[in-house]
Each structure stands twice: as structure tokens, then as C-alpha cells.
């Protein structure tokens, strides 16, 4: 086990937000920053999770911690470690909180012993770092065992659970039962949506704080039309010479360049002028790529000239997603059974993961290239791809599941469809393709929706309020 260690962070400036916020929002952010500086002076706010790289929580922390520091609040980020037995249990807890069995071994008393022992070892190191007035924000099941040891020393502790389901089943309740004895000691417990709040928690100590996206990373930074085309060509998603400038701004401000190509899995490049329906997701059955392909082939392709793009990470690169290769193989086999004319309109792109910022700029260009972005998931915690596409002013058709429902106001900032209703999904897509004016209006509303509720500024303000609530 490596010792608890601090993550080195890039620098950021709050000033950036000025270009994407309304005047009122910008002033609100400045006021929150000022309150934060004053209220938390002399204290450190420690974020603690179990990985510095990969996954949504690491991505959120990498974005929000530098902004908090830029605001003048001493926020830091620590990573704990565990042995394989500990992570096997926490992975199971993660799956069970989603309502899935994971490795199916359930949760036993010996598991609790392992969980406690690792937590105590990490806590012993943590209490050496955390000062008496400091505040601690723990993330996800791997850290719940740290609540009690920290509270026992009088440290104020918030625990945030980033996973959840709208309707709990017995597996979810078993995970709650395992974690509740730890979690009830926290000063506050944070969930990403109201429906995820556990039964049995003191509601007065529960807060709901949705995730956010970072408008300035390679995933979401603005791209000129010429750059979009250059990136799509350089990555082989579009045909044509790569004489454009496929460059982008890396996180540290240095210029990046797209040099790798996507694996097209037997598909031709997407014609530059063809209307495109695009879904970007891990190759996961719950993202329902089968449903998207079927609805497209049976009901969208026959009545439009649109092409379909299903894009996801290179499956060899995502080691913790063993289902990926099988799902991609199934989708590829399905596409091969289509008529040659139809097969030529379906594009299955695996995006290289060697350089995550290069991967992100490919996602960015593809989302901006789309005429309609779809996210036909059968389940979704939040659905970052939805917010990402909305921020790019794309009209989105998505399933009414999980946090997607908090993002899209149906009929205004996108269209929500029943995940089981393929015809309804296809109708929503063809309707938008046939009515560019409405699609543009919806895309505009989508961007404003994200500006209002899902950028980092709102997230930072909620964190200031949260910690004010426990220091006052
Ligand atoms: N993503 C990516 N590269 C890919 C495919 C997906 O960076 O090739 C990103 C996507 O842009 C989003 C994240 O992976 O930021 C997926 O988050 P989401 O909440 O949509 O779903 P999850 O994968 O967490 O279930």
C-alpha cells in the first residue's frame, strides 16, 4: 500500500469564468470566492478519494480544486490506497450502489473487517496531515471508513457519494446497510440528485449538489469550424488531406496536436457534408448502442439522409471495463448484417486513449460536428456526455433516466424519451433532423441551461455554502 499522498495540481484562474458566465453569475462567483476566503481562512479543505487519474471524480477534482485555490481558499487533494481485497470490496459496493451485483459475492462480516482495517490504516496517516480546524471532503465508498476516525478527533467531515440509482433494489439497500454505520457520523452527506438520497439518513444533514463540466478543458473548449474539420480529418473520422491545423490547447496551456487516428472497425469515414446523429459512450450495454443502431437502421435511415456515428474509447485501453470488447464486437457484427448501402452510413469509431487530452479533443470535435447528439442510455448517474453536448449547443435526444432528467427540460433544452421506446426515440431524432430551426433553438436553450446550472462556478458556490453550513 502506498502512503496517503497529495496530488500535484495545475494552476487555474477564476478570471476564465468571466467569458462564459452572465454578469450576474460572475458577480455571484466573486462574492462566493470572497466569502470562502474569509470563512475558511486559516483552514485547509482536504478532498480525499482513491485515485488521481481516471474516472469522473478525479476529473471533477482536477478541475475544481485548482479553481478553489485560485479563489484563495486552501483546498487540497489527497489520495488513499488499499490492498486488492479492499478494492474488491469497494468495487462491489460501487456496483451494488448502482443496483448491480458486481462479482456477486455480497457483503459479509469478514468484508467489514477488511474495510475497517484499511480505513484505519489510511485514517492514521490522514490525521497527521489534517489540522484541528481543517475541513475534510471525502469522496465515494472507498473513503466512508475515514469518517469516524476523523470525527473522533473533532474534524468536520463531509462525505460525498457520486453514485446512485433512482429506484433502489435489495442490492442497493445491502450496500447502504454496510456503509450507513460509517456515514451517519458525517456532518454532511452529499448526493448528486435528490432521488439518490439514501433511506435512513438524517435529512437535515443531506445536501444535493449535481456534477458540472469544465468549459475550458480539451473536452469542451471552443473550436473554430476549421479546427473541427482538421481534427476530424487528422483522426481519420473524416476523409481528406490532413493539411488543416489539428491543434488544441492542452490543460497546461501548451499547444497539442492530433496525431493518432481512430479505429473505424470496418466503417468508412464520415462524409464531411452528411447530416450526422452521434452517440459518444463507453462500449457498455447500459448505453444501449444496440438500441441506437436498431432505431437508426429501421426508422431513421429510411426517411432521412443522416449517417450514424457510435464512438467510444479504444476497448483495449479501458482495462477496468471488461465488457467493452464484447459489446463493440456485437455492434460491429450487427452493422455487418445491414445492407451495403446502410452499412456505409454507420460509423463505429474507437478513439485512441494513449493521450487522454487528444482523446478529449476528438470527442469535442465529434460532438460539435453532430447535427443531433443522442444518449439512449438504459441507466445513467448523471450523464456527462449530455451536458457536454448541450454546452456545445447541440440538440440532444436522451433517455429520461437518472441525472439526464435534471439536465434536459423536455421540449425546451432537448428531448427526453422513454428508454424502452425505440419508435419514440427515432421520431424525436427524425423530427429534429427535419426541422433545423427547432434544432438550433433547442441547442441554444441547451447551452443556456448548462451555463445556468452545470458549469464549475455553480459547483464552487454550492461547496462554499456547504462548508459555511458546518463551520458557522
Ligand atoms: N468519453 C471520453 N472518450 C471516449 C468516450 C467517452 O472521454 O472515447 C467521456 C465522455 O466525454 C464523458 C465520460 O467519458 O466525459 C463519460 O461520462 P458519462 O457520465 O457520460 O458516463 P459514464 O461513462 O460515467 O457512465
For ligand 1, pick from 281, 314, 365, 408 the residue to mutate: most ligand atoms within 8 Å of CB: 281
CB of 395 closer than 8 Å to CB of 430? no
Nearest C-alpha neighbor of 239 from the set 347, 112, 104, 120: 347
Ligand 1: which residue has its CA nearest to atom 7? 360
DSSP summary character for residue 238: B
Task: Give φ, ψ of 71 to 5 degrees.
Answer: -75, -10
Query: What does the pLDDT profile of the chain (472 residues) look like in tens digits?
Result: 788 999 988 778 999 999 999 999 999 999 999 999 999 999 999 999 998 877 789 889 999 999 999 999 999 999 999 999 999 999 899 999 989 998 999 999 999 999 999 999 999 999 999 999 999 999 999 999 999 999 999 999 999 999 998 999 999 999 999 999 999 999 999 999 999 999 999 999 999 999 999 999 999 999 999 999 999 999 999 999 887 789 999 988 899 999 999 999 999 999 999 999 999 999 989 899 999 999 999 999 999 999 999 999 998 876 556 778 999 999 999 999 999 999 999 999 999 999 989 999 999 999 999 999 999 999 888 999 999 999 999 999 999 999 999 999 999 999 999 999 999 999 999 999 999 999 999 999 999 999 999 999 999 999 999 999 999 8
Alpha carbon of 384 to ligand 1 centroid (Å): 7
Q: Return the ligand 1 atom nearest residue 380 CA.
A: 25
Q: Residue 373: which H helix or E strand, with range?
A: strand 372-375
Alpha carbon of 314 to ligand 1 centroid (Å): 12
| Strand order, beta sheet including 372-375 | 346-351, 307-313, 276-280, 372-375, 396-399, 415-417
For ligand 1, pick from 385, 399, 408, 450 the residue to mutate: most ligand atoms within 8 Å of CB: 385
Alpha carbon of 213 to ligand 1 centroid (Å): 12
CA dist., res. 86 & res. 180, Å (int): 18
Ligand 1: which residue has its CA nearest to atom 11? 385
Helix, coil or strand: residue 207: strand
Alpha carbon of 241 to ligand 1 centroid (Å): 29
Alpha carbon of 385 to ligand 1 centroid (Å): 6
Q: Return the ligand 1 atom nearest residue 360 CA.
A: 7
Alpha carbon of 455 to ligand 1 centroid (Å): 17
Residues contacting ligand 1 via CB (< 6 Å): 56, 219, 280, 282, 312-313, 351, 359-360, 363, 382-385, 388
Alpha carbon of 387 to ligand 1 centroid (Å): 11
Please tell me the pTM assigned to this model. 0.92
CB of 406 closer than 8 Å to CB of 210? yes
Nearest C-alpha neighbor of 97 from the set 171, 167, 147, 166: 171
Name, in order, each residue with C-beta under 8 angstroms of 132's C-beta and a sequence gap of 6 or more: 153, 154, 155
Amino acid at each position: 500500500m502506498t502512503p496517503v499522498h497529495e496530488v500535484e495540481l495545475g494552476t487555474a484562474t477564476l478570471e476564465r469564468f468571466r467569458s462564459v458566465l452572465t454578469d450576474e453569475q460572475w458577480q455571484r462567483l466573486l462574492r462566493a470566492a470572497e466569502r470562502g476566503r474569509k470563512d475558511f481562512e486559516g483552514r485547509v479543505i482536504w478532498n480525499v478519494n482513491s485515485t488521481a487519474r481516471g474516472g469522473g471524480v478525479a476529473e471533477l477534482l482536477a478541475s475544481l480544486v485548482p479553481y478553489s485555490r485560485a479563489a484563495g481558499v486552501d483546498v487540497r487533494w489527497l489520495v488513499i490506497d488499499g490492498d486488492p481485497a479492499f478494492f474488491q470490496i469497494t468495487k462491489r459496493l460501487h456496483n451494488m450502489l448502482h443496483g448491480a451485483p458486481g462479482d456477486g459475492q455480497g457483503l459479509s462480516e469478514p468484508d467489514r473487517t477488511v474495510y475497517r482495517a484499511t480505513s484505519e490504516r489510511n485514517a492514521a496517516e490522514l490525521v497527521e496531515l489534517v489540522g484541528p480546524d481543517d475541513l475534510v471532503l471525502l469522496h465515494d465508498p472507498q473513503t466512508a471508513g475515514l469518517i469516524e476516525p476523523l470525527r473522533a478527533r473533532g474534524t468536520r467531515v463531509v462525505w460525498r457519494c457520486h453514485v446512485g440509482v433512482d429506484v433502489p433494489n435489495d442490492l442497493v439497500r445491502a450496500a447502504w446497510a454496510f456503509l450507513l454505520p460509517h456515514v451517519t457520523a458525517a456532518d454532511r452527506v452529499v448526493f448528486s440528485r435528490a432521488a439518490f438520497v439514501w433511506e435512513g439518513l438524517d435529512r437535515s444533514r443531506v445536501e444535493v449538489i449535481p456534477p458540472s463540466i469544465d468549459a475550458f478543458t480539451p473536452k469542451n473548449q471552443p473550436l473554430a469550424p476549421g479546427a473541427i474539420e482538421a481534427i476530424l480529418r487528422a483522426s481519420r473520422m473524416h476523409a481528406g488531406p490532413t493539411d488543416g491545423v489539428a491543434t488544441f490547447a492542452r490543460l497546461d496551456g501548451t499547444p497539442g496536436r492530433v496525431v493518432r487516428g481512430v479505429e473505424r472497425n470496418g466503417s468508412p469515414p464520415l462524409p464531411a457534408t452528411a447530416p450526422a446523429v452521434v452517440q459518444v459512450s463507453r462500449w457498455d450495454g447500459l448505453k444501449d448502442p444496440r438500441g441506437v443502431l436498431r432505431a437508426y437502421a429501421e426508422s431513421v435511415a429510411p426517411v432521412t439522409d443522416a449517417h450514424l456515428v457510435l464512438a467510444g474509447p479504444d476497448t483495449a485501453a479501458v482495462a477496468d471495463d471488461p465488457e467493452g470488447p464484447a459489446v463493440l464486437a456485437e455492434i460491429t457484427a450487427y452493422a455487418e448484417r445491414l445492407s451495403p448501402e446502410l452499412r456505409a452510413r454507420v460509423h463505429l469509431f474507437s478513439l485512441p486513449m494513449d493521450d487522454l487530452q487528444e482523446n478529449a479533443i476528438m470527442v469535442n470535435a465529434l460532438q460539435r460536428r453532430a447535427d443531433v447528439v443522442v444518449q439512449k442510455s438504459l441507466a445513467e448517474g448523471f450523464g456527462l456526455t449530455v451536458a457536454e453536448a448541450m454546452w456545445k449547443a447541440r440538440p440532444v435526444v436522451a433517455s429520461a433516466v437518472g441525472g439526464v432528467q435534471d439536465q434536459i427540460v423536455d421540449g425546451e433544452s432537448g428531448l427526453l424519451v422513454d428508454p424502452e421506446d425505440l419508435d419514440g426515440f427515432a421520431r424525436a431524432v427524425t423530427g429534429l433532423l427535419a426541422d433545423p430551426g427547432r434544432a438550433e433553438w433547442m441547442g441554444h436553450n441547451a447551452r443556456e441551461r448548462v451555463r445556468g446550472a452545470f458549469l464549475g462556478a455553480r459547483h464552487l458556490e454550492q461547496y462554499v455554502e456547504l462548508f459555511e453550513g458546518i463551520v458557522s
